[in-house]
C-alpha cells in the first residue's frame, strides 16, 4: 500500500512527463509512492507516454474522454489513489518535484493540508512580467478577502499542495475549472493547515492552459464561495 499518491492532471504534456516522473522518483524513492496520471484524452500522446513510463515507474494512467477540467481531474485521481496522502501538482515542470517531497513529509506529520506557497517567505516566481505579477497578486488578494477559509493562507490560488485523501473526497466540494485548492479552503475549511515556500518555475515545453474561460470560471468560483457565507 503506497504512503503517498501523486496526482498529475494532464493535457498535452507528453514532452514534460518523462522528465517529471524521473525527478519525482528521485525525490520520492524510499517513501513508497505511486503516480496517478489523469489525462483528458490528450491528442499529443500523453497517455501513451505515461503507459510507457509505467513499465519502469509506479505510474497508473486514467484517461477521461467525456470530462474536462483540472479540478475534477484531481478528484478523479484521489478516488483512484491507494494512499492516505495525496500530492497534487501540475505536469508542466513549474512545480519542482523536490518540493513534492517536502509537502508529503509535512503532511505525514498530521496536517490536513500543506500548501506550496509562492508568497511565503522564501517563495517566489521565475521570469514573470509585471502584468502577470499584478494579476496574480490581485487574484490572491481577492481570494483572501472574499473566501473566509482562504484568509489564513498566503497563496490560496496555488495548484501545488498535499492533502489527506478524505479532504479531496469531501461531498461538499463542487470541482469546476482549475482552482481546486480554493474550493477546499472555501467549502471544507480544514483546520490543520501549513505552508511550504517554493519557486514557481518557467514552463519547459508545451503551451500554457490559461484562457478567458479559465479566468471567468475563477471569478464565478470566487463569487459562489463568497456568497456561501453571505
- pLDDT per position as a tens digit, 180-191: 998 999 889 898
Q: Give me the domains of the chain, ranges plus CATH numbers.
A: 4-228 (3.90.550.10)
Q: What is the average pLDDT score of the chain? A: 89
pLDDT digits 0-9 by tens, 18-74: 999 999 999 999 899 999 999 999 999 999 999 999 999 999 999 999 888 889 999
C-alpha cell at 51: 503507459
Per residue, the 3-state secondary structure of the chain, as one string, reads CCCEEEEEEECCCCCCHHHHHHHHHHHHCCCCEEEEEEECCCCCCHHHHHHHHCCCCCEEEEECCCCCCHHHHHHHHHHHCCCCEEEECCCCCCCCHHHHHHHHHHHCCCCCEEEEECCCCCCEECCCCHHHHHHHHHHHHHHHHHCHHHCCCCCCCCCCEEEEHHHHCCCCCCCCCCCHHHHHHHHCCCCCEEEEECEECCCCCCCCCCCHHHHHHHHHHHHHHHHHCC
The pLDDT, as a whole number, for residue 229 is 65
User: For residue 211, what pLDDT is reported?
Assistant: 58
Question: pTM (2 decimals)?
Answer: 0.89
The confidence score (pLDDT) of residue 207 equals 56
Kindly report, residue by residue over 70-98, the tens digit of the pLDDT: 899 999 999 999 999 999 999 999 999 99
Amino acid at each position: 500500500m503506497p504512503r503517498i499518491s501523486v496526482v498529475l492532471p494532464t493535457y498535452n504534456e507528453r514532452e514534460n512527463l518523462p522528465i517529471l516522473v524521473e525527478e519525482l522518483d528521485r525525490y520520492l524513492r524510499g517513501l513508497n509512492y505511486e503516480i496517478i496520471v489523469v489525462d483528458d484524452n490528450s491528442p499529443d500522446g500523453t497517455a501513451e507516454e505515461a503507459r510507457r513510463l509505467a513499465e519502469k515507474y509506479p505510474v497508473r494512467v486514467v484517461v477521461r474522454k467525456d470530462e474536462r477540467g483540472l479540478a475534477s481531474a484531481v478528484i478523479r485521481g484521489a478516488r483512484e489513489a491507494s494512499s492516505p496522502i495525496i500530492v497534487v501538482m501540475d505536469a508542466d515542470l513549474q512545480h519542482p518535484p523536490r518540493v513534492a517531497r517536502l509537502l508529503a513529509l509535512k503532511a505525514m506529520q498530521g496536517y490536513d493540508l500543506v500548501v506550496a506557497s509562492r508568497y511565503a517567505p522564501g517563495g517566489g516566481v521565475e521570469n514573470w512580467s509585471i502584468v502577470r505579477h499584478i494579476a496574480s497578486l490581485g487574484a490572491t488578494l481577492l481570494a483572501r478577502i472574499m473566501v473566509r477559509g482562504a484568509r489564513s493562507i498566503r497563496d490560496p490560488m496555488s495548484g501545488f499542495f498535499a492533502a489527506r485523501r478524505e479532504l479531496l473526497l469531501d461531498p461538499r466540494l463542487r470541482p469546476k475549472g482549475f482552482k481546486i485548492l480554493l474550493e477546499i479552503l472555501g467549502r471544507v475549511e480544514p483546520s490543520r493547515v501549513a505552508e511550504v515556500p517554493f519557486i514557481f518555475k518557467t514552463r519547459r515545453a508545451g503551451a500554457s492552459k490559461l484562457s478567458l474561460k479559465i479566468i471567468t470560471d475563477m471569478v464565478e468560483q470566487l463569487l459562489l464561495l463568497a456568497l456561501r457565507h453571505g
